[in-house]
């Protein structure tokens, strides 16, 4: 076990640039650091995001809605370079006072409606279009329970395990142990559920799958933190079956490349303005086009 010689002082003070991977964007206060207007396109929905697991939830949701034929789900997607601090621009902070992607502006009505927090965005869109969220009381309760399970659980996977395993400036055995155990417990929760049901909320693909897949699905597919072997993800075979099935969905394939930066040219779509943008990448277009 790591021997720590650190004794916390009576009052915590901020040391900028503590050496962690995201030290340059972390600060103990909120609010805008600079004036910067957000770009705005012609589509009814404006998305300000990035292709991280939290961002991908929303682009997959929008692509699934378009696949279902909801033309009102057309969107312009603009990348927010969080490594460069664009989430602290005044325009972005006006849409999300919490300065985190994803953030959505619904411009389809007389006044724009802002929505932030990926879970709130998924629910907002599901209710707006009457899709991917069951309406019968029991099925809806089950779906929302798993949607909010994701919101509460993923910070232990991302901010806990991922941070200490992959991003912290040095390895702390205690922290990695604690969050590896919790991550494996969460994978086991999902595995037991998916042993009995094709999808997380039951028989239907819903916003619960859309929220959970970018984190736990991509983890078992070996796409997060280079931790597949460390966590022995192949043991969660029901999660793996579900993850592979969702990975093959055309809307998921499209959603994963939107607002993606720093990938090969043919695997990223930094901005998305219409379905035609996917042609260059050779991806399947919405079936309704």
Ligand X SMILES: N[C@@H](CCC(=O)N[C@@H](CS)C(=O)NCC(=O)O)C(=O)O
Q: Give the binding range for ligand X (CB under 6 A) out of 37-45, 95-103, 264-272, 275-283.
A: 95-103
Closest distance to ligand X from the beta carbon of 158 (Å): 7
CA angle 130, 133, 136 (to 5 degrees): 95
Quick one: 46 or 52, whose CB is closer to ligand X?
Answer: 52
* 252 touches ligand X (CB under 6 A): no
* 118 touches ligand X (CB under 6 A): yes
Closest distance to ligand X from the beta carbon of 174 (Å): 24
* 101 touches ligand X (CB under 6 A): yes
Quick one: 122 or 202, whose CB is closer to ligand X?
Answer: 122
Contacts of 97 (CB under 8 A, 6+ apart): 30, 31, 116
Q: Give the binding range for ligand X (CB under 6 A) out of 98-106, 125-133, 160-168, 250-258.
A: 98-106
Closest distance to ligand X from the beta carbon of 55 (Å): 6
Closest distance to ligand X from the beta carbon of 73 (Å): 19
- Site residues (CB under 6 A) for ligand X, limited to 7-46: 25
Report the 10 Å Cβ neighbour count for 67: 21
Structure token pair of residue 248: 């093959």
Q: Give the helix, strand, coil percentages of the chain, each rounded to 5.
A: 50, 10, 40
Parallel/antiparallel/unpaired status of strands 75-79 and 103-106: unpaired
* 163 touches ligand X (CB under 6 A): no
Q: Is the peptide bond before 102 cis (omega within 30 degrees of 0)?
A: yes
* 256 touches ligand X (CB under 6 A): no
Closest distance to ligand X from the beta carbon of 224 (Å): 12
Report the 10 Å Cβ neighbour count for 26: 12
Alpha carbon separation from 163 to 131, 158, 160, 179, 277 (Å, rounded)? 34, 6, 5, 10, 34
Cβ 231 vs Cβ 240: under 8 Å: no
> Considering only residues 72, 94, 117, 277, which one is a binding residue for ligand X as defined by CB under 6 A?
117
Closest listed residue to residue 99, CA positions, set 113, 112, 85:
85
* 59 touches ligand X (CB under 6 A): no
Closest distance to ligand X from the beta carbon of 269 (Å): 18
Closest listed residue to residue 200, CA positions, set 232, 251, 256, 245:
245
* 99 touches ligand X (CB under 6 A): yes
Closest distance to ligand X from the beta carbon of 105 (Å): 15
Binding-residue total with ligand X (CB under 6 A): 11
Quick one: 202 or 210, whose CB is closer to ligand X?
Answer: 210
Give residues in contact with ligand X (CB under 6 A).
25, 52, 54, 82, 87, 99-102, 117-118
């Amino acid at each position: 076990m790591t021997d720590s010689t650190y004794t916390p002082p009576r009052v915590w003070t901020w040391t900028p640039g503590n050496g962690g991977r995201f030290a340059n964007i972390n600060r103990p206060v909120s609010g805008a650091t600079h004036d910067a207007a957000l770009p705005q396109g012609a589509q009814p929905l404006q998305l300000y995001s990035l292709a991280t697991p939290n961002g991908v939830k929303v682009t997959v949701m929008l692509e699934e809605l378009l696949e279902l034929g909801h033309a009102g789900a057309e969107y312009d997607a603009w990348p927010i370079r969080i490594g460069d601090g664009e989430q602290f621009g005044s325009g972005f902070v006006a849409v999300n006072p919490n300065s985190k992607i994803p953030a959505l502006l619904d411009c389809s009505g007389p006044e724009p409606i802002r929505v932030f927090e990926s879970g709130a965005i998924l629910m907002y869109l599901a209710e707006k279009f009457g899709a991917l969220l069951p309406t019968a009381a029991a099925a809806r309760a089950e779906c929302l329970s798993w949607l909010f399970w994701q919101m509460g659980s993923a910070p232990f996977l991302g901010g806990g395990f991922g941070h200490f395993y992959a991003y912290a400036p040095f390895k702390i055995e205690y922290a990695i142990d604690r969050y590896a155990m919790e991550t494996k417990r969460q994978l086991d929760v999902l595995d037991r559920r998916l042993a009995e049901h094709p999808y997380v909320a039951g028989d239907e693909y819903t916003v619960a799958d859309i929220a959970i897949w970018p984190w736990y699905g991509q983890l078992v597919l070996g796409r997060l933190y280079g931790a597949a072997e460390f966590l022995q993800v192949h043991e969660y075979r029901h999660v793996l079956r579900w993850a592979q099935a969702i990975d093959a969905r055309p809307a998921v394939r499209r959603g994963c490349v939107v607002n993606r930066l720093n990938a090969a040219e043919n695997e990223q779509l930094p901005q998305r303005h219409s379905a035609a943008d996917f042609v260059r990448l050779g991806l399947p277009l919405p079936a309704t086009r």
